Amino acid sequence: IHTKKPTQIKCISGSVEASCGLGLADGIVDLVETGTTMRAAGLEEVSTIMKTECVLIANKSTSHPELVETIRKRIAGYLTATKYVMVTYNIHRSSLERAKNITPGKKSPSIMPLERGDWVAVSALVLKKSASTVMDELEDVGATDILLTSIVNSRMGD
């Protein structure tokens, strides 16, 4: 539809998705992370205007380099926590090598002996997107008591 009426742009904040449903807007431009809220409002993406990136930039001459490093570590820890879950399981020592191949961890798995001397408890980070498959594979090699734990934040030395 062509109209001689000029396009009007209004800057709003908050639940901008609601503006279409309320008849306040014909379309919206929104910064979307996952699109869940947008889809819940019955909307769908028409076009991606731009891909963005968030970066931490430090002044080379800052008088607070330790503060900048603390912020960097906090961001890195949070990003790691969003990608990984901790898998913990028990396994007979005879199957440990096969299990370690499935769960090598970020650096290596943590292995602790159990009271029952021929068994060990293993904890390792696994990618969240692979967690269900990892659980299936661990069960196939004889692991028991398999648990996944969400990570809220972390410090991985990176």
Predicted confidence at residue 147, as pLDDT, reads: 98
What Cα–Cα distance (Å) separates residue 117 from each residue in 4, 110, 114, 154?
Answer: 82, 17, 6, 31
Per-residue pLDDT at 146? 98
Residue 50 has pLDDT above 80, yes or no: yes
Residue-level length of the chain: 158
Residue 1 pLDDT greater than 60, yes or no: no
53-91 residue pLDDT tens: 889 999 999 999 999 999 999 999 999 999 999 999 999
Per-residue pLDDT of 7-18, as tens digits, reads: 788 888 888 888
State yes or no: pLDDT of 107 exceeds 80: yes
| The predicted structure's pLDDT at residue 158 | 65
Do β-strands 110-113 and 144-150 pair in parallel, antiparallel, or remain unpaired? unpaired
d(CA 64, CA 66): 5
pLDDT of 141: 98
Share of the chain above pLDDT 70, in %: 97
